[in-house]
Structure 1
Amino acid sequence: MSHAKNFYAGPSVLPISILEEIQKNMVDYMGSGLSLMETSHRSPEYDEVHMNSLNLIREIYGVPDNFKILFIGGGATMQFSMIPLNFLSGGRSCDFTLTGAWSKKAYNDAIKLGKVNVIFDGKDESYTRLPDPASLKATPGASYFHMTSNETIGGIQWKDWPDTGDVPIICDMSSDIMSRPIPFEKFGMIYAGAQKNLGPSGVAIVIIREDMLEKCNPDITAYLDYRIHAKKDSLYNTPPVFPIYAMSLILQKVKADGGLKSIQNRNEEKSRLIYDTIDKSGNFYKSPVDVSVRSDMNVVFTLDSTDLEKEFIAEAKKRQMVGLKGHVSVGGCRASIYNSLPISDVMALVDFMNEFQKEKS
């Protein structure tokens, strides 16, 4: 079978070697006589997978000892509710930066549960730029300062972080988690759905500073309480076994391939190849995002007409390049180039973009 070049925004590309490893062990996991998906989550086989995943995230990402790593079902969208439920009780407030579709969704859930101060809203510029982080000031006494590190739909990414003083930053990193080193000392919590860079959908990774756990709502129900998950090593209930297993394989590959710095270098090279093609096209391709905050994960661009964009996407599909249609809310084109996408696939896309321009010019 010829595998397509996968530019979907999520669920997204997985390494062929990982898919083949999963296939090999799907029915009989490591000679145990059972699939891991039907084995008790209390079994030695799953316990090894679970703890290995937690330990690899800590090692590869450089997570400090005073942070807990949690696996929680429901993806990042459930975190939009869990965060305010834990940290906005008792009349507390939080700060928000609105930088695109996903930060707005998190905001829309938060305002139903507590007071929200909007520190920045990029609506007037169609969410195509970000402010200087040094210009952002947290509200004294706020419980947290929410950011979305990379907007998947808009193709915009924070390159640096504000100094929020005693107000902890909580950051949705769903679409760029483990794509670059981050300064953990800046954050109280980061969270991400796995289905962009770390595996299939179905699990969220939460990395939370231990002192944040002391601030959780004491009256919250069990599954929504971060303290419960931290105390039980994310085994309070049956965890999302399959995505955690796939994630463990991806993490092993990340380590074998040189770790986080190698990933960052490859991601920057991949995005540079496409942005250079856009910038050198003489406006045949156009990126709406300010150059200083262009995403290394999701490259958005437009052509002169929707008809031309449809033709571009259709012709790309004939060449087994899928997922290049922009989100329905913004249109245009989008190439999602997450960690697992080979640079050879990006080079094939760039060659096609040049050929298409030559043919249509």
Structure 2
Amino acid sequence: MKRARNFNAGPAALPLEVLQRAQNEWLNIEDSGMSVMELSHRSAEFEKIHNHAIQTLKELMEIPENYEVLLLQGGASLQFSMIPMNILKDGKRADYVLTGSWSEKALKEAKKVGETAVVASSKDDTYTYIPKVTDIEMNEDAAYLHITSNNTIYGTQWNEFPATGNVPLVADMSSDILSRKIDVSKFGIIYAGAQKNLGPSGITVVIIRKDLITDNDKIPSMLNYSIHSKNNSLYNTPPTLAIYLLSLVLDWAKEQGGVEKIAEINAEKAKAIYDIIDNSNGFYKGHALYESRSHMNVTFTLPTEEAEKQFLKEVKEAGFVGLNGHRSIGGCRASIYNAVPLSHCQELAAFMKKFQDAYMAKETQTH
């Protein structure tokens, strides 16, 4: 079977080596005589898998001892509610930086819980850039400052994170976690749906500073960080298959040379495609401003709607998957998460160049 060149935005590509290992262990995990999907989540075999995933993530991201790693359900979208429910106290305000649709959705849910404020935004310019950290009008007494580190729909990414002092910095890193080295100690909470860089859909990683985990009997148990922390994320039946695959992806990341090596490859992948855009004389136009470009989601348009339709038709016929832009803005998008091979990005870049040359030659003949 020939593997698709998968540029889907999420659920996204998984490393081939991970899928092959899962296939080999499919019927007999840890010599149990069972598939991982059949294991009790209270069994020693699954507990080993569960704890290995948590420990490997701590190692890869160099997570300090005063942080907890929780493996939860509900996607990053549930965190839009859980975060304010747990740490937005009465009399406090939560500050939000708007850089795209997901930060808008996070703000919408927080408003239902307590007082919020937008302290910086690039909405007026169709989210083509990340606001400068010096332009953030943060309240020094805020409950937290929320950002979305990478914006999948618009193709923008934070290159510098705001220094927030005593205010916890909360980041939705669903689409760029583990893609580059970060200083976890600068954040109060990092959360991420797994289905882009960490594994399959169905599991959400929450990295939270322990002092932000407080007992509050008024919060429903399934939405309470304290409950999940006390139970090692095993308060209820977890998505065991997703956690197992998360564990395998983290092992794969270590085998690649860790986060620093992965970041180097990601930079090469992004450069291959952006170089085609930048040298196309305007045939391909990137949505994001240069200084805010994402290394995870390359968004671009073509000169006309007709050219775009033709490009998307031909690129699909050539074996590339998932190049359509998000339905809300259209255009094209190449999502080049950790598991997308460099060779696939180079092949896409070559296709883009070939398509431009053929299209322009045809246009010249027509006129």
Which range, TM-score by smaller chain?
over 0.9
1:211-360 mapped onto 2 (5 Å cutoff)? 211-214=211-214, 217-360=216-359
Amino acid at match of 2:99: T
CA distance in 2, matches of 1:204, 1:30: 24
Q: Is the 8 A contact 1:81 1:110 kept in 2?
A: yes
What is the root-mean-square deviation of aligned Cα atoms in Å?
Answer: 1.1
Indicate if the aligned counterparts of 1:296 and 1:337 stay in contact, CA closer than 8 A: yes
In the TM superposition, structure 1's runs of 4+ consecutive aligned residues that sit over 6 Å from their partners are: none
Distance in 1, matches of 2:217 and 2:271, equals 47
How far is 1:135 from its partner? 3.1
Alpha-carbon offset, residue 218 of structure 1: 4.2
* Superposition deviation, residue 127 in structure 1: 0.5
Taking the aligned partners of 1:2 and 1:282, their CA distance within structure 2 comes to: 34
Aligned-pair CA distance for 1:217: 4.0
TM-score normalised by L of structure 1: 0.97
Do structure 1's residue 90 and structure 2's residue 118 form an aligned pair? no
SS of match in other structure, 2:312:
helix
2:143 corresponding residue in structure 1: 143
Amino acid at match of 2:138: A
Bigger drift between 272-281 and 133-142 goes to 133-142
Equivalent pair of 1:138/1:167 in contact (CA under 8 Å):
no
Distance in 2 between residues matched to 1:355 and 1:140, nearest whole Å? 53
Tell me the CA shift for residue 238 of structure 1: 1.1
Residue 86 of structure 1 deviates from its aligned partner by 1.0
Tell me the percent identity. 47
Cα offsets for 1:94-128 (capped at 9, x unmatched): 00000001100111111111111110121111100
Residues of 2 paired with 1:56 and 1:39: CA distance? 21
Any idea what the Cα deviations from partners look like across 1:37-95, whole Å, max 9, x if unmatched?
01101111111110000000000111011100000011101101111111224243200
Aligned to 1:9: 9
**Which runs of 5 or more structure 1 residues have no equivalent in the other structure?**
none
Question: SS of 1:90's equivalent?
Answer: coil
Which has the higher mean CA deviation after the structures are superposed, 302-311 or 96-105? 302-311
Q: What are the Cα deviations for residues 133-174 of structure 1, in whole angstroms up to 9, with x where unaligned? A: 133242132111000000110101000111112111010000
Q: Distance in 1 between matches of 2:143 and 2:217?
A: 15
Distance in 2 between the 1:133 and 1:323 partners? 33
State the TM-score, normalizing by the size of structure 2: 0.96
What is the CA distance between 1:338 and its match in structure 2?
A: 0.1
- SS of 1:134 mapped into structure 2: helix
Provide the residue aligned with 2:363 in structure 1.
none
Query: Structure 1 pair 170/229, CA: closer, same or farther in 2 (3 Å)?
Result: same
- Tell me if structure 2 keeps the 8 A contact 1:138–1:165: no
Structure 1, 25-34 or 103-112: larger mean CA deviation: 25-34
Local SS of the residue matching 1:47: helix
Instruction: Map Cα deviations across residues 221-246 of structure 1 (whole Å, 9 max, x no partner).
Output: 11111111111111111111111100
